[in-house]
Protein backbone atom coordinates (compact mmCIF):
# COMPACT_ATOMS: atom_id res chain seq x y z
CA UNK A 1 0.00 0.00 0.00
CA UNK A 2 1.17 3.47 -0.89
CA UNK A 3 1.23 6.21 1.81
CA UNK A 4 0.97 9.77 0.53
CA UNK A 5 1.61 12.73 2.83
CA UNK A 6 0.31 16.20 1.96
CA UNK A 7 3.12 18.52 0.93
CA UNK A 8 1.59 21.21 3.11
CA UNK A 9 1.49 19.95 6.69
CA UNK A 10 2.75 20.83 10.17
CA UNK A 11 2.03 24.08 11.99
CA UNK A 12 0.58 27.01 10.06
CA UNK A 13 2.11 30.47 10.34
CA UNK A 14 -0.46 31.67 12.94
CA UNK A 15 0.07 28.66 15.19
CA UNK A 16 3.89 28.89 15.01
CA UNK A 17 3.61 32.56 15.89
CA UNK A 18 1.28 31.91 18.88
CA UNK A 19 3.58 29.17 20.26
CA UNK A 20 6.60 31.45 19.88
CA UNK A 21 4.80 34.28 21.70
CA UNK A 22 3.79 31.92 24.54
CA UNK A 23 7.32 30.50 24.88
CA UNK A 24 8.87 33.97 24.86
CA UNK A 25 6.40 35.22 27.50
CA UNK A 26 7.08 32.19 29.72
CA UNK A 27 10.86 32.53 29.32
CA UNK A 28 10.87 36.23 30.15
CA UNK A 29 8.81 35.75 33.32
CA UNK A 30 11.12 32.92 34.53
CA UNK A 31 8.30 31.64 36.75
CA UNK A 32 8.12 34.95 38.66
CA UNK A 33 4.49 35.64 37.71
CA UNK A 34 1.38 33.85 36.53
CA UNK A 35 1.14 33.40 32.78
CA UNK A 36 -2.37 32.48 31.71
CA UNK A 37 -3.82 31.57 28.38
CA UNK A 38 -7.51 32.19 27.96
CA UNK A 39 -8.58 28.85 26.54
CA UNK A 40 -6.11 26.70 24.61
CA UNK A 41 -3.50 28.86 22.91
CA UNK A 42 -3.86 26.56 19.91
CA UNK A 43 -6.24 23.63 19.50
CA UNK A 44 -3.81 20.78 19.99
CA UNK A 45 -3.88 19.03 23.40
CA UNK A 46 -0.34 17.62 23.08
CA UNK A 47 1.21 21.04 22.35
CA UNK A 48 -0.85 22.75 25.06
CA UNK A 49 0.28 20.00 27.48
CA UNK A 50 3.94 20.75 26.66
CA UNK A 51 3.42 24.50 27.23
CA UNK A 52 1.62 23.77 30.53
CA UNK A 53 4.71 21.86 31.69
CA UNK A 54 6.68 25.06 31.05
CA UNK A 55 4.29 26.97 33.34
CA UNK A 56 1.40 28.13 31.13
CA UNK A 57 -1.87 28.11 33.08
CA UNK A 58 -4.87 27.49 30.82
CA UNK A 59 -8.04 29.13 32.18
CA UNK A 60 -11.58 29.03 30.84
CA UNK A 61 -12.85 32.12 32.61
CA UNK A 62 -11.05 35.43 32.83
CA UNK A 63 -12.26 35.73 36.46
CA UNK A 64 -9.83 32.89 37.28
CA UNK A 65 -6.85 35.15 36.46
CA UNK A 66 -5.67 37.03 39.55
CA UNK A 67 -2.38 38.77 38.83
CA UNK A 68 0.08 38.35 35.98
CA UNK A 69 -0.20 38.09 32.22
CA UNK A 70 -3.02 36.83 30.02
CA UNK A 71 -2.15 35.59 26.54
CA UNK A 72 -4.97 35.84 24.02
CA UNK A 73 -4.93 32.75 21.84
CA UNK A 74 -4.43 32.59 18.07
CA UNK A 75 -8.25 32.63 17.76
CA UNK A 76 -8.65 36.07 19.32
CA UNK A 77 -10.99 37.08 22.15
CA UNK A 78 -14.32 38.90 22.41
CA UNK A 79 -14.10 42.64 22.97
CA UNK A 80 -15.74 42.41 26.43
CA UNK A 81 -13.02 39.97 27.56
CA UNK A 82 -10.26 42.31 26.38
CA UNK A 83 -11.96 45.14 28.31
CA UNK A 84 -12.13 42.95 31.42
CA UNK A 85 -8.42 42.05 31.17
CA UNK A 86 -7.56 45.76 31.06
CA UNK A 87 -9.97 46.57 33.93
CA UNK A 88 -8.38 43.87 36.10
CA UNK A 89 -4.99 45.48 35.34
CA UNK A 90 -3.58 42.24 34.01
CA UNK A 91 -0.82 42.38 31.39
CA UNK A 92 -2.15 41.46 27.98
CA UNK A 93 -0.15 39.61 25.33
CA UNK A 94 -2.04 39.28 22.07
CA UNK A 95 -1.25 36.13 20.04
CA UNK A 96 -4.28 36.55 17.74
CA UNK A 97 -3.36 35.34 14.25
CA UNK A 98 -3.00 38.23 11.76
CA UNK A 99 -5.51 36.50 9.45
CA UNK A 100 -8.06 36.59 12.28
CA UNK A 101 -7.15 40.22 13.02
CA UNK A 102 -7.80 41.02 9.37
CA UNK A 103 -11.33 39.60 9.73
CA UNK A 104 -11.77 41.76 12.88
CA UNK A 105 -10.79 44.88 10.93
CA UNK A 106 -13.19 44.04 8.09
CA UNK A 107 -16.07 43.57 10.56
CA UNK A 108 -15.29 46.87 12.36
CA UNK A 109 -15.16 48.75 9.06
CA UNK A 110 -18.44 47.25 7.80
CA UNK A 111 -20.16 47.93 11.10
CA UNK A 112 -19.11 51.57 10.96
CA UNK A 113 -20.64 51.78 7.46
CA UNK A 114 -24.03 50.51 8.64
CA UNK A 115 -23.91 46.88 7.47
CA UNK A 116 -25.47 43.98 9.31
CA UNK A 117 -22.41 41.75 9.47
CA UNK A 118 -23.06 38.03 9.31
CA UNK A 119 -20.40 35.61 10.50
CA UNK A 120 -20.56 32.11 9.05
CA UNK A 121 -18.87 29.66 11.39
CA UNK A 122 -19.16 27.49 14.49
CA UNK A 123 -20.90 29.74 16.97
CA UNK A 124 -19.19 28.07 19.96
CA UNK A 125 -15.68 28.55 18.52
CA UNK A 126 -13.60 31.29 20.23
CA UNK A 127 -12.78 32.95 16.90
CA UNK A 128 -16.46 33.25 15.99
CA UNK A 129 -17.35 34.51 19.48
CA UNK A 130 -14.72 37.24 19.07
CA UNK A 131 -16.02 38.21 15.62
CA UNK A 132 -19.61 38.25 16.85
CA UNK A 133 -18.66 40.55 19.72
CA UNK A 134 -17.61 43.09 17.07
CA UNK A 135 -20.84 42.76 15.07
CA UNK A 136 -22.99 43.37 18.12
CA UNK A 137 -25.31 40.53 17.01
CA UNK A 138 -26.22 37.32 18.75
CA UNK A 139 -25.69 34.05 16.90
CA UNK A 140 -28.45 31.78 15.59
CA UNK A 141 -27.78 28.39 14.05
CA UNK A 142 -24.09 28.97 13.59
CA UNK A 143 -24.36 32.46 12.13
CA UNK A 144 -24.91 35.97 13.34
CA UNK A 145 -28.19 36.71 11.67
CA UNK A 146 -29.56 40.03 10.41
CA UNK A 147 -32.71 41.08 12.18
CA UNK A 148 -35.69 42.88 10.69
CA UNK A 149 -37.15 42.94 7.22
CA UNK A 150 -36.12 44.34 3.85
CA UNK A 151 -33.91 47.29 3.00
CA UNK A 152 -30.99 45.79 4.88
CA UNK A 153 -27.38 46.18 3.90
CA UNK A 154 -25.79 42.85 4.76
CA UNK A 155 -22.17 41.71 4.62
CA UNK A 156 -20.65 38.28 5.11
CA UNK A 157 -17.40 37.16 6.68
CA UNK A 158 -16.31 33.62 7.34
CA UNK A 159 -14.51 31.94 10.21
CA UNK A 160 -10.94 31.74 8.88
CA UNK A 161 -10.96 27.93 9.02
CA UNK A 162 -14.35 27.37 7.40
CA UNK A 163 -14.68 25.37 4.19
CA UNK A 164 -15.70 27.32 1.10
CA UNK A 165 -18.68 24.99 0.58
CA UNK A 166 -20.04 25.64 4.09
CA UNK A 167 -19.50 29.37 3.64
CA UNK A 168 -21.39 29.47 0.35
CA UNK A 169 -24.23 27.32 1.75
CA UNK A 170 -24.59 29.73 4.69
CA UNK A 171 -24.60 32.78 2.42
CA UNK A 172 -27.28 31.36 0.10
CA UNK A 173 -29.52 30.42 3.04
CA UNK A 174 -29.45 33.95 4.38
CA UNK A 175 -29.80 35.68 1.03
CA UNK A 176 -33.23 34.06 0.67
CA UNK A 177 -34.37 36.84 3.03
CA UNK A 178 -34.93 40.45 1.99
CA UNK A 179 -31.90 42.66 1.56
CA UNK A 180 -30.98 45.73 -0.46
CA UNK A 181 -27.25 45.14 -0.76
CA UNK A 182 -24.92 42.25 0.05
CA UNK A 183 -21.13 42.18 0.28
CA UNK A 184 -19.09 39.01 0.60
CA UNK A 185 -15.55 38.87 2.01
CA UNK A 186 -13.34 35.85 1.63
CA UNK A 187 -11.80 35.67 5.10
CA UNK A 188 -10.89 31.97 4.85
CA UNK A 189 -7.13 31.96 5.46
CA UNK A 190 -4.83 30.84 2.66
CA UNK A 191 -3.33 28.06 4.81
CA UNK A 192 -6.78 26.53 5.41
CA UNK A 193 -7.68 26.83 1.71
CA UNK A 194 -4.42 25.11 0.70
CA UNK A 195 -4.90 22.19 3.12
CA UNK A 196 -8.50 21.68 1.95
CA UNK A 197 -7.41 21.73 -1.71
CA UNK A 198 -4.74 19.08 -1.01
CA UNK A 199 -7.27 16.90 0.83
CA UNK A 200 -9.65 17.13 -2.17
CA UNK A 201 -6.81 16.13 -4.51
CA UNK A 202 -5.95 13.07 -2.36
CA UNK A 203 -9.63 12.10 -2.19
CA UNK A 204 -9.55 11.50 -5.96
CA UNK A 205 -6.46 9.29 -5.69
CA UNK A 206 -6.64 7.49 -2.30
CA UNK A 207 -9.05 4.94 -0.85
CA UNK A 208 -8.39 5.71 2.82
CA UNK A 209 -7.61 9.04 4.49
CA UNK A 210 -5.94 9.94 7.79
CA UNK A 211 -6.79 13.41 9.08
CA UNK A 212 -4.32 14.32 11.81
CA UNK A 213 -4.98 16.97 14.44
CA UNK A 214 -6.72 17.96 17.65
CA UNK A 215 -10.29 16.71 18.02
CA UNK A 216 -11.05 20.26 19.23
CA UNK A 217 -9.39 21.89 16.22
CA UNK A 218 -11.94 23.57 13.91
CA UNK A 219 -9.76 23.42 10.79
CA UNK A 220 -8.92 19.73 11.38
CA UNK A 221 -12.61 18.92 11.89
CA UNK A 222 -13.39 20.77 8.67
CA UNK A 223 -10.78 18.69 6.80
CA UNK A 224 -12.32 15.54 8.28
CA UNK A 225 -15.81 16.70 7.22
CA UNK A 226 -14.60 17.23 3.63
CA UNK A 227 -13.01 13.74 3.59
CA UNK A 228 -16.00 12.00 5.20
CA UNK A 229 -18.56 13.66 2.92
CA UNK A 230 -16.62 12.46 -0.13
CA UNK A 231 -17.44 8.84 0.78
CA UNK A 232 -13.76 7.79 1.11
CA UNK A 233 -13.01 5.89 4.38
CA UNK A 234 -11.61 8.62 6.65
CA UNK A 235 -10.25 8.68 10.20
CA UNK A 236 -9.59 11.70 12.42
CA UNK A 237 -6.71 10.93 14.78
CA UNK A 238 -4.54 12.91 17.18
CA UNK A 239 -1.71 10.42 17.68
CA UNK A 240 -0.28 7.24 16.15
CA UNK A 241 -1.70 5.25 19.10
CA UNK A 242 -5.22 5.49 17.63
CA UNK A 243 -4.30 3.78 14.34
CA UNK A 244 -5.95 0.41 13.69
CA UNK A 245 -4.52 -2.11 11.21
CA UNK A 246 -7.99 -3.10 9.97
CA UNK A 247 -8.47 0.40 8.47
CA UNK A 248 -6.01 -0.52 5.71
CA UNK A 249 -7.43 -3.93 4.80
CA UNK A 250 -7.55 -4.21 0.99
CA UNK A 251 -6.61 -0.51 0.62
CA UNK A 252 -4.23 0.58 -2.10
CA UNK A 253 -3.39 4.16 -1.22
CA UNK A 254 -3.58 6.09 2.06
CA UNK A 255 -3.59 9.89 2.11
CA UNK A 256 -2.33 11.77 5.18
CA UNK A 257 -3.45 15.37 5.73
CA UNK A 258 -3.16 17.45 8.87
CA UNK A 259 -4.69 20.45 10.58
CA UNK A 260 -2.92 23.75 11.14
CA UNK A 261 -2.08 23.03 14.79
CA UNK A 262 -0.55 19.60 14.19
CA UNK A 263 3.22 19.29 14.73
CA UNK A 264 5.26 17.93 11.82
CA UNK A 265 6.66 15.36 14.24
CA UNK A 266 3.20 13.85 14.75
CA UNK A 267 2.59 13.56 11.01
CA UNK A 268 5.95 11.75 10.70
CA UNK A 269 5.15 9.36 13.59
CA UNK A 270 1.77 8.52 12.04
CA UNK A 271 3.24 7.94 8.58
CA UNK A 272 5.94 5.70 10.07
CA UNK A 273 3.39 3.67 12.02
CA UNK A 274 1.21 3.11 8.92
CA UNK A 275 4.25 2.06 6.88
CA UNK A 276 5.38 -0.32 9.64
CA UNK A 277 1.92 -1.90 9.87
CA UNK A 278 1.74 -2.28 6.11
CA UNK A 279 5.27 -3.62 5.57
CA UNK A 280 5.31 -6.11 2.69
CA UNK A 281 1.88 -5.12 1.41
S1 LIG B 1 -5.31 28.35 10.41
FE2 LIG B 1 -5.07 30.32 9.36
S3 LIG B 1 -6.20 31.76 10.63
FE4 LIG B 1 -5.89 29.95 11.88
S5 LIG B 1 -4.00 30.36 13.01
FE6 LIG B 1 -3.41 29.27 11.13
S7 LIG B 1 -2.91 30.87 9.64
FE8 LIG B 1 -4.08 31.81 11.30
pLDDT, tens digit, for every residue of 8-17?
A: 888 999 999 9
- Cβ(270) – ligand 1 distance below 6 Å: no
pLDDT of residue 147: 45
Residues lower than pLDDT 50 in the chain = 139-142, 144-150
Distance 63 CA to ligand 1 centre (A): 27
Instruction: Give the fold, CATH level 3, of 2-10+190-277.
Output: Cobalt-precorrin-4 Transmethylase; domain 1 (3.40.1010)
Q: Which pLDDT tens digit goes with each residue over 172-201? A: 888 887 788 999 999 999 999 999 999 999
Give yes or no: 127 in active site.
yes
Domains 13-96 and 99-184 alike in fold: no
Cα 111 to Cα 108, 118, 147, 221, 271, distances in angstroms: 5, 10, 14, 30, 46
Mutation choice for ligand 1 from 102, 130, 214, 219, CB with most ligand atoms inside 8 A: 219
Nearest 5°: phi and psi at 52? -65, -35
- Domain 13-96: state its class: alpha beta
Report the separation in Å between the CA atom of 212 and the middle of ligand 1, taken as the mean of its atom positions. Answer: 16
Looking at the domain that runs over 99-184, which CATH code has it been given?
A: 3.40.1010.20
Residue 66: per-residue pLDDT: 87
Q: Please, which residues have CB within 8 angstroms of residue 104's CB and are 6 or more apart in sequence?
A: 76, 96, 130, 131, 134
Cross-strand bridge partners of residue 181: 153
Kind plus residue range of the DSSP H or E element containing 45: helix 45-53
User: How much is the pLDDT for 146?
Assistant: 43
* pLDDT at residue 140, as a whole number: 45
pTM: 0.86
Q: Which residue among 14, 125, 193, 220 is best mutated to probe the pocket of ligand 1, counting the most ligand atoms within 8 A of its Cβ?
A: 14
Yes or no: say if 10 and 264 are a contact pair by the CB < 8 Å rule: yes
CA 191 – ligand 1 centroid, Å: 7
Collapsing DSSP to helix, strand or coil, 211 comes out as: strand
Amino acid sequence: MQVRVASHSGFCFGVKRAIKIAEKTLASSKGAKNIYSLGSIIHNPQVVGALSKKGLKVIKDINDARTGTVIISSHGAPIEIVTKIKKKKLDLVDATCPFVKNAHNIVKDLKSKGYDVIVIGDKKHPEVKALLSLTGASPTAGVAHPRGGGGKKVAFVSQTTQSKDNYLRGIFDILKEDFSEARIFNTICSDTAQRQALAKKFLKECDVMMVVGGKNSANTRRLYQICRESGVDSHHIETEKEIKKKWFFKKKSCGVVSGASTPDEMVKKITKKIKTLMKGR
